Amino acid sequence: MKPPAFEYLAPASLDEAVAALADDEAKVLAGGQSLVPMLNFRLLAPSLLVDINRIPGLDYIEDNGAGGLRVGALTRHYSLETSELVLQRFPILNAAMRYVAHLAIRNRGTIGGSLCHGDPAAELPGLMLLLDAKMKTTQRTIAAADFYQGALETALADDEILTEIQLPALADETGWGFEEFARRSGDFALTAVGATVGEGAARIVVIGAHDTPLRLTAAEALFPDIDAVVAAAQAEVSPNDDLHASADYRRHLVGVLTRRALAAAI
Amino acid sequence: MIKVTVNGVTFEREVEPRLSLADFLRHELGLTGTHVGCEQGVCGACTIILNGDSVRACLCFAVQADGCEIETVEGLGTVDNMDPLQQSFQAHHALQCGFCTPGMLMTGVDLLRKYPLATDAEIREGLSGNLCRCTGYEHVVQAIRAVVEANNGG
pLDDT at residue A225 tops 80: yes
Q: What is this model's ipTM? A: 0.96
On whether both B55 and B119 belong to a single domain, the answer is no
Q: How do the domains of chain A map onto residue ranges?
A: 7-51, 61-167, 176-265
In a domain, B79, yes or no: no
pLDDT at residue A153 tops 80: yes
In a domain, B32, yes or no: yes
Whole domain around residue B31: which residue ranges?
Answer: 2-74
In a domain, B62, yes or no: yes
In a domain, B39, yes or no: yes
Q: What pLDDT, on the 0 to 100 scale, is given for residue A31?
A: 98
- Give the C-alpha separation, A228 to A223, whole Å: 8
pLDDT at residue A80 tops 80: yes
Query: For residues B65 and A24, which has the higher predicted lDDT (pLDDT)?
Result: B65
Q: Is A226 exposed, middle or buried (0-12, 13-18, 19+ CB in 10 A)?
A: middle
Q: Which of B54, B74, B94 is the last residue of a domain?
A: B74
- Give the C-alpha separation, B10 to B3, whole Å: 7
The CATH number of the structural domain formed by A61-167 is 3.30.465.10
On whether both B44 and B104 belong to a single domain, the answer is no
A58 Cβ neighbours under 8 A, 6+ residues apart: A52, A72, A73, A74, A75, A112, A163
Answer whether B56 sits within 8 Å of A7, measured CB to CB. Answer: no
Q: Tell whether B128 lies on the interface with A, counting CB pairs under 8 A.
A: yes
A75: helix, coil or strand?
Answer: coil
On whether both B92 and B135 belong to a single domain, the answer is yes
Q: Tell whether B18 lies on the interface with A, counting CB pairs under 8 A.
A: yes
Which among B139, B123, B19 is positioned nearest to B88, based on CA atoms? B139
Structural domain count, chain B: 2
Q: Tell whether B71 lies on the interface with A, counting CB pairs under 8 A.
A: no
On whether both B109 and B142 belong to a single domain, the answer is yes
Pairing relation of β-strands A148-150 and A153-154? antiparallel
The alpha carbon of residue A23 is apart from the nearest alpha carbon of chain B, in Å, by 17
DSSP state of B28: I
Q: Tell whether B129 lies on the interface with A, counting CB pairs under 8 A.
A: yes
Q: How many residues does chain A have?
A: 266
CATH of A7-51, one of 3.30.43.10, 3.40.50.300, 3.50.50.60, 3.40.640.10: 3.30.43.10
Q: Is A192 exposed, middle or buried (0-12, 13-18, 19+ CB in 10 A)?
A: buried
A233 Cβ neighbours under 8 A, 6+ residues apart: A193, A204, A206, A216, A219, A254, A255, A258
On whether both B66 and B25 belong to a single domain, the answer is yes
Phi then psi for B50, rounded to 5 degrees?
-115, 120
On whether both B93 and B141 belong to a single domain, the answer is yes
Which among B54, B74, B64 is positioned nearest to B6, based on CA atoms? B74
DSSP state of B94: -
Q: Which of B40, B74, B108 is the last residue of a domain?
A: B74
Pairing relation of β-strands A175-181 and A191-198? antiparallel
- Enumerate residue ranges in chain B where pLDDT < 70: 154
Cβ of A5: how many Cβ atoms within 10 Å? 10
| DSSP H helical ranges for A21-64 | 35-40
- Give the C-alpha separation, B138 to B11, whole Å: 38
Answer whether A5 sits within 8 Å of B17, measured CB to CB. Answer: yes
Confidence band for A1, pLDDT divided at 50, 70 and 90:
confident
On whether both B69 and B93 belong to a single domain, the answer is no
On whether both B98 and B117 belong to a single domain, the answer is yes
The CATH number assigned to the domain holding B49 equals 3.10.20.30
Answer whether A103 sits within 8 Å of B54, measured CB to CB. Answer: yes
| Residues of chain B found within 8 Å of residue A185, distances taken between Cβ atoms | 124-125, 128
Confidence band for A186, pLDDT divided at 50, 70 and 90:
confident
Q: Tell whether B125 lies on the interface with A, counting CB pairs under 8 A.
A: yes
Pairing relation of β-strands A201-207 and A214-215? antiparallel
Nearest-by-Cβ selection for A53 from B44, B64, B128: B64
Q: Which of B11, B41, B74 is the last residue of a domain?
A: B74
What is the side-by-side strand order in the sheet with B2-6?
A: B9-13, B2-6, B69-71, B47-50, B53-56
CATH of A176-265, one of 3.40.30.10, 3.30.930.10, 3.90.550.10, 3.30.390.50: 3.30.390.50
On whether both B60 and B121 belong to a single domain, the answer is no
On whether both B7 and B69 belong to a single domain, the answer is yes
